[in-house]
Structure 1
Amino acid sequence: MTKTATLQQALTRFLDPAGLDRHRQRVCTHLLACRTEVMGGMVLQCSDCAHVQPHYFGCRDRHCPQCQGRAIEQWAERQQANILPVRYYHVVFTLPHSLNGWVQLHPEVIHRLLFQSAWHTLRMFGRDPKRLDGQMGMIAVLHTWGQNLSQHVHLHCLVPGGALSDDGNWREARSNYLFPVRALSRHFRGHMVSALRKVATAGDLHRVTWPGDVDEQLNTLMTTEWVVYSKDCLEHTPAVVRYLARYTRQIAISNARILTVDDHQVILRYKDYRDRERHKPLILDGKEFVRRFLLHVLPKGLMRVRHYGFLANRCRRQRLVQIRRALAVVEPAPDADMAASEAEPTYTCPHCRQPSLQMIGILSPQRPSCGPPPNHQEQRYRT
């Protein structure tokens, strides 16, 4: 079994389109068509050894484990270019599992409130005159799964350790946890529950139909300890950036983690954090594997990565210049490697191992027998 066929094989064997909403059906159609003749492609020939082979296009769907590799690398390089010479913190805001049902019923609402509550919490602590008394910045990446594909909704946040004051000075955070974690957790919980109560009153949680469920759930949430993790990453900030980058355009499962697919089950590898992070096999019934995978298909248009504060897109360039000036550091020059990474890809010949494959023809897409047409994103290769 080839590595690139494992998820496609599992979907082919166990996917039942009946009962799926239109968006999930379309995502599955893209994944099944990815890098097959359905997508069309190019005919490549090696200029050294004359080897000829087809190259099929990817589906470019953000849920596909085979696509987005170059986009992930480019995103990481852009974030590395914006790294400041300060201490950074890795902060994680986690939703209680009791909200998982609401996440499936109203994913747009719950995810939006999660982002808003996490940023509101950090912004208020940063603006506190007794703490940093300034504007903070944050990069937040939504992550919805655990190692066993269960639903585990949380935000990974990369936070520069300090704030830009109103007078243009940089106020540095000096602790190894940014702010007291218990205080962060209580504030995050209070803001999130209050926001949920407001949207419920406005009728935005209309799919929650069980009588009294909203009030009972919110009252229970206020008596539950919420999990917030915060730790400095002074020595390994680039590694955290690369860690976040992996989840900007991929989801749930990579082909490398799927060990076996047969007629009845799927065996995948997972990391058991409760047992010293040992890698173990997990056996799932085929339909259960597909069900868990589809839990993490995000609604169309939902932004998984968001920037806040002085890292927001509208003001990032100006604010970073101000901060570097306050820190008395030189503005970095444009990175030539980043420009090179955005150039057209080269293709290595599998026969002679040289990057000498060149296009000599095109392969037209073949429409599948059923379902919507593939999301063809590679028209630039066509003549």
Structure 2
Amino acid sequence: MPRPRLEIADIFRRYGPAWRSANLGHVSLGQLKVMSAIEACRTETLGGHVAACTKCDHHHIAYNSCKNRHCPKCQGPAARDWIAARAEDLLPVEYFHVVFTIPAEIARIAYWNQKAVYGLLFRASAQTVMTIAADPKRLGAKVGMTSVLHTWGSALTHHPHIHMIVPGGGLSPDGNKWVGCKPGFFLHVRVLARLFRRLFLEGLLKLYRAGQLTFFGNLACLARADAFAKWLAPFRKTDWVVYAKPPFGGPVAVLAYLSRYTHRVAISNNRLVSADASTVAFRWKDYRIKRGDRQKVMRLATPEFIRRFLIHVLPEGFHRIRHYGLLASSARKTNIRKIRALLAVQSEKGTTEQEMEPETTSLTLREPCPCCGGPMRIIEIFRRGQIPMSRAPPREQAA
């Protein structure tokens, strides 16, 4: 794919210095590191190499990627590598997509206490599915799932939620039988929502009693136990949102879907429309519209756009993709082999890079020459800040 006309990196380079100066003391070190990484990504700042075709005269400069998980340009290759590793874990069964969301008021507390509350969101949603699925009146089986944390809405607002991909079935309690769900149906979302609400609120209260929550602004009063209990009570009676999408078309469709979700960032470069010192315009979906075209263009003040992007920077070391139950890393391979034996099937082959439709396609040594199809080889490596000796067109490619 051609490079987008406008990138997040362009906005950070042009307007980031003024924003950092205006918000001095209110920006975390992690957010500053993300800005610097995105600004330097695929530029001479990080060094790179010169690649040449072995059959024709084509050669190009490939600048190194920052590999930051919040960088829009780095996530396409990262998603491809991750999906290739997951292809061997696929099962020839229906897969379901379940979304768990917390109320907006609680999301405010989540932003102030990201590690604690985002971690609770992972645990409560996974425990909910495993508990309901294990109920003999429901599925009566031990299931597994892959969970992905997203913290944004389409308009870059703070909207933490879990996207969960679940195989449609599980192992019987004795582990000797595969128990499949009904075609096209996994578990009742209302039942899931009620248990999720209870488990999450119990977990939140436990965090509070352990002194792991902090409060700011007009919610600073919640530091008092009586105020927190009164504030928490109404959430026990409101309906929480758990949404289950229809099953996928098959294992290949699961991989294609995962490649778009697992390594997604708050906003892709392709959604940007324009940017100047005062305003950034970008495309977004208005999900309040039930029918018709949801696509709209939003215009935000440039400082507000930068702020919204950076509120989705996760704490350092926090894992946004997690596996539970049968797919937990410690026992995943053993469980997959056992399930395949019970289903008497062979390992499903992975999809191709074209089928996964990555957001960006980079020209690397894994790919042939774009001119003649010949193999590419590295003829020079240059370090940070160095200028390559070999002359090449100033094309920006990933290394």
- TM-score interval, smaller chain: 0.7 to 0.9
Using the alignment, how far apart are the partners of 1:259 and 1:206 within structure 2? 38
Question: What is the identity, as a one-letter code, of the residue corresponding to 2:383?
Answer: S
Using the alignment, how far apart are the partners of 1:312 and 1:8 within structure 2? 36
1:345 matched to which residue of 2? 365
2:8 matched to which residue of 1? 7
Secondary structure of the residue aligned to 2:69 is coil
Using the alignment, how far apart are the partners of 1:176 and 1:45 within structure 2? 51
Counterparts in 2 of 1:338-377, with a 5 A limit? Answer: 345-346=365-366, 349=369, 352=371, 354-366=373-385
Using the alignment, how far apart are the partners of 2:105 and 2:182 within structure 1? 35
Secondary structure of the residue aligned to 1:345 is coil
TM-score by length of 2: 0.83
Question: What is the identity, as a one-letter code, of the residue corresponding to 2:264?
Answer: Q
Q: In the alignment, is the contact (CA less than 8 A) between 2:286 and 2:295 conserved in 1? A: yes
Flag the 1:235–1:348 CA change in 2: closer, same or farther, 3 A. closer
Which of 213, 218, 221 is the equivalent residue of 1:210? Answer: 221
- Percent pairwise identity: 36
Deviation at 1:5, TM superposition (A): 5.0
Q: In the alignment, is the contact (CA less than 8 A) between 2:91 and 2:348 conserved in 1? A: no
Q: Which moved more, 1:118-127 or 1:81-90?
A: 81-90
2:100 matched to which residue of 1? 93
CA RMSD in angstroms, aligned pairs only: 2.6
Using the alignment, how far apart are the partners of 1:183 and 1:109 within structure 2? 25
Using the alignment, how far apart are the partners of 1:216 and 1:240 within structure 2? 43
1:371 matched to which residue of 2? none
Which of 296, 305, 308 is the equivalent residue of 1:289? Answer: 305
Secondary structure of the residue aligned to 2:9 is helix
Q: In the alignment, is the contact (CA less than 8 A) between 1:68 and 1:249 conserved in 2? A: yes
Say whether residues 1:261 and 2:275 are aligned partners: yes
Which of 190, 195, 202 is the equivalent residue of 2:203? Answer: 195
Using the alignment, how far apart are the partners of 1:225 and 1:254 within structure 2? 32
Deviation at 1:356, TM superposition (A): 4.4
Using the alignment, how far apart are the partners of 1:337 and 1:223 within structure 2? 47
Deviation at 1:240, TM superposition (A): 4.2
Using the alignment, how far apart are the partners of 1:248 and 1:159 within structure 2? 14
Flag the 1:89–1:353 CA change in 2: closer, same or farther, 3 A. same
Say whether residues 1:226 and 2:233 are aligned partners: no
Using the alignment, how far apart are the partners of 2:12 and 2:160 within structure 1? 24
Using the alignment, how far apart are the partners of 2:36 and 2:120 within structure 1? 30
Q: Which moved more, 1:243-252 or 1:111-120?
A: 243-252
Counterparts in 2 of 1:311-350, with a 5 A limit? Answer: 311-327=327-343, 329-332=344-347, 345-346=365-366, 349=369
Deviation at 1:252, TM superposition (A): 0.4
Q: In the alignment, is the contact (CA less than 8 A) between 2:92 and 2:348 conserved in 1? A: no
Flag the 1:289–1:300 CA change in 2: closer, same or farther, 3 A. same
Question: What is the identity, as a one-letter code, of the residue corresponding to 1:331?
Answer: Q
Question: What is the identity, as a one-letter code, of the residue corresponding to 2:332?
Answer: R
Deviation at 1:336, TM superposition (A): 11
Flag the 1:29–1:118 CA change in 2: closer, same or farther, 3 A. same
Q: In the alignment, is the contact (CA less than 8 A) between 2:87 and 2:349 conserved in 1? A: no
Question: What is the identity, as a one-letter code, of the residue corresponding to 2:366?
Answer: T
Secondary structure of the residue aligned to 1:179 is coil
Q: Please, which runs of 5 or more residues in structure 2 have no aligned partner?
A: 357-363, 387-398
Using the alignment, how far apart are the partners of 2:83 and 2:243 within structure 1? 22
Which of 266, 281, 289 is the equivalent residue of 1:252? Answer: 266
Q: In the alignment, is the contact (CA less than 8 A) between 1:90 and 1:240 conserved in 2? A: no
Using the alignment, how far apart are the partners of 2:56 and 2:249 within structure 1? 46
1:110 matched to which residue of 2? 117
TM-score by length of 1: 0.87
Q: In the alignment, is the contact (CA less than 8 A) between 2:92 and 2:251 conserved in 1? A: no
Say whether residues 1:31 and 2:31 are aligned partners: no
1:155 matched to which residue of 2? 162
Q: For residues 73-115 of structure 1, what are the alpha-carbon distances to aligned partners after superposition, in whole Å with 9 as ceiling and x for unaligned?
A: 2322333332212222111111111122212210000111001
Q: In the alignment, is the contact (CA less than 8 A) between 1:267 and 1:284 conserved in 2? A: yes
Using the alignment, how far apart are the partners of 1:334 and 1:2 within structure 2? 31
Using the alignment, how far apart are the partners of 1:356 and 1:279 within structure 2? 41
Question: What is the identity, as a one-letter code, of the residue corresponding to 2:221?
Answer: W
1:185 matched to which residue of 2? 193
1:377 matched to which residue of 2? none
Q: In the alignment, is the contact (CA less than 8 A) between 2:51 and 2:377 conserved in 1? A: yes
Q: How many pairs does the alignment contain?
A: 362
Secondary structure of the residue aligned to 1:270 is strand
Q: In the alignment, is the contact (CA less than 8 A) between 1:141 and 1:244 conserved in 2? A: no
Deviation at 1:4, TM superposition (A): 6.6
Q: For residues 328-382 of structure 1, what are the alpha-carbon distances to aligned partners after superposition, in whole Å with 9 as ceiling and x for unaligned?
A: x2332776979xx9xx7335556x3645443221222029xxxxxxxxxxxxx8x
Q: Please, which runs of 5 or more residues in structure 1 have no aligned partner?
A: 368-380
Q: In the alignment, is the contact (CA less than 8 A) between 1:176 and 1:231 conserved in 2? A: no
Deviation at 1:321, TM superposition (A): 1.8
Secondary structure of the residue aligned to 2:221 is coil
2:53 matched to which residue of 1? 46
Q: In the alignment, is the contact (CA less than 8 A) between 1:136 and 1:310 conserved in 2? A: yes
Secondary structure of the residue aligned to 1:166 is coil
Flag the 1:234–1:347 CA change in 2: closer, same or farther, 3 A. closer
1:140 matched to which residue of 2? 147
Say whether residues 1:63 and 2:70 are aligned partners: yes
2:296 matched to which residue of 1? 280
Flag the 1:335–1:122 CA change in 2: closer, same or farther, 3 A. closer
Secondary structure of the residue aligned to 2:49 is strand
